Structure 1
Amino acid sequence: MIFDKLKKFDIVFDSPEVDCPPVYSSGDVVSGRVVLELSGESRVDSLKLHAEGFAKVHWTESRSAGSSTAYTQNYGDEVEYLNRREVLLQAGQSNNGEVTVLPAGKHEFPFSFQLPEETLVTSFEGKHGSIRYWVKVKLHRPWATVRKIKKEFTVIEPIDINTPALLAPQAGTKDKMARAWYRSFGQVSVTAKIDRKGYTPGEVIPVFAEFDNSTSRSVVPKAFIIQTQTFIARGTMKQKRSVVATLCGDIVGAKRRETWHGRAIKIPPVGPSILQCRIIKVEYMLKVCVDVPGTSKLCLELPLVIGTIPLHPFGSRTSSVSSQYSVNLEWLHMAIPEQPEPPPDYSSVVTEEEAEQRHNAVASQQAEDLSGILERPLMAFVQEFRFRPPPMYSEIDPNPQPINMRPRCMTC
């Protein structure tokens, strides 16, 4: 039978490195070949290629409609980024009605197409949505079932942190009165600053902070890098928040003050920020908190953007993205490398005020669902970027400076 003659049917992408999947960005050319291996002579009607790219979100919610009835509400949306068709082989009909005949052996059909010039969105896998790009090929033969094959490829839209907006320092101050059962223990304040807003995976963020504990109790300063995944459909959103890195400071005694002179918190190999998609967003923040026993936490949030092109990049924007960094395929399983100390659940770094505000917001606006905000997170895909390691920072500055002054690089 003709069906039995097809021994191999595969899609192979051209890659500059052996055993390394290619990575693309907007405007790049995707090329490769479709491989057919036949055990005998076979007739073929056509061989067609279809390249697609979509962002899709979907989730369901159960709602009560009375004491004895309930129904399930579905939410979903999608955005198309790529849709291109190409015919690799089309049989030429003759006067006798014959089709193309391929002899036994291996046959390769090359393909090549350019991704749209407008900005694409980085590939992503999340709990309630994904951003995927793929190539699908269909093989049509007389009196045989259509054979299909599909292979995904990765798109990473570069985010260059060498821009004024991402190089700007981020700073803030926050304070609160520590109270428990109508009893005041005094005021706690935190001031924090980081050198810039944009960083890349693997870099170390030196945190400059001052904790003023005017209470009668000891407090514990901490810092966290938090990732927020937001999925949007039909005017409703679903969020997943996760702590991806943790920094714990020394205990600050009562009526004492503690200063961080560039305490280091390292960014793990997480996916870059996604800010340009209408239905999926991935955002980051640095959260500096003071844990006061017996009362709620005091937290200060500083925005972060995780980029792909580090300071003083060696590659150019016009070159292929795959020449600037490689992709670890473990992101397909949403894995994250082992860490010396696993980060806590997001719920452990949320203040009571924040939890109460979110509860009231949900009660007043049923359409906005944040029910998944405190669930255990699923990580975005993990990627490995190749670039020169950032300079090392000492946790103790031999020449301490005031918090409002720019820190001196310890390697200079």
Structure 2
Amino acid sequence: MTHAEAKSLDVILDNEQRDGYCSGEVVSGHISLKLSEATTVKTIKVLLKGYAQVSWMHKRSCCSEERKYLFLSKTLVSTTDTQDLIFFDSGTYEIPFDLQLPQSPLVSSFSGKHGRVYYMVQAVLKRELCIISHIDVNVPTLISPVSQTCKKMIGCWIFTSGPISLTASIDRQGYCNGESIPIYALIENCSSRLVVPKAVIYQIQIYTYKGKTKSIKQVVASARGNEVPSDTSSRWNGNTLKIPPVSPSILNSDILRLEYLLAVIVQVPGAKNLEVQLPVVIGTSGHGMSSRSIVNMSLLYPTFTLPDVAEAPPSYAEVVSEEQFEEHRTSTCQSRPDWLLDGSAFACIQQFHLQPPPPYSEVGLNSKLLAKVLLWRRPKTHLVP
């Protein structure tokens, strides 16, 4: 909370004209809080403190001492397990309080030349202050690339269906909030299953107490890639995953660490997923290197390109005229014995002999279908003695 947000924070007692209080009595009043704009607080407390202080100079040295006689505390406004901060709109708030003095005798208030005994009621408004440790992601350890590979067989014993391999890398390890991480990955699916890749940013919270550790792992960002069918491969050439607003990495505390991991996962139906984890440090400054090493990273993986589409063959009409087709059909039928013309094998051959093939657009690059077309077009004259 800034001074501009809080105009005033005052403690007002119910009986301001009273000369004093005795042991066992109740001190009551209210806290007046005036806010110029909306704000959030964590706690509001009222404290009652009592001290005795003495101080004087003796032979160029200071003689001083302090004793605490009383300390009472009462929380008036506080957060709950499900509420981290309490919201206050602009305006004036009056929060009542009461504190009972102890029954034991108290030292009377006094103010002298070299000391005093005093009691005070204090209002405390607590609001968390955010401290950010500076982490420069331009240091040499954070600008170097990191890569990892894993591979596994799908199935067991004689029922294996082929391996699945995953290689993933990033061009550096240091990033800042709001940056996008370019991910380079190669997924080779030689199995019989359809797999799905995805990228995830994990936040790892590590707590330490007397040699014991407790960790919490949670997802802060994720993205799903395209499916990779059986016997195919897929390449990520700089697919990006944006870092959401998160706390910077904490690496300088001996009891609490905050780390981040970028994981590339290949989800395999009916089997354990493939996963590679790459360490990432979330810093506070020093980014701006997004295009520094993209070219180098792209050289880590081969470039997959489809073969050039072959030129379409000439049409059937350009090769065989109608006169040639009729002449060949008539001469072939006349030169065959009747018993052979009635055979089913010869009838099948003659049905497709010199018939136009299917259009080129229907065949394309399918080699198996193209082989069948060529087989039907080939005249099987060796069947005739």
User: Which bracket does the TM-score occupy, shorter chain normalised?
Assistant: 0.3 to 0.5
Q: Which has the higher helix share?
A: 2
Tell me the TM-score normalized by structure 1. 0.45
Tell me the TM-score normalized by structure 2. 0.48
Higher alpha-carbon Rg: 2
Which is bigger in relative contact order (C-alpha 8 A, separation at least 6)? Answer: 1
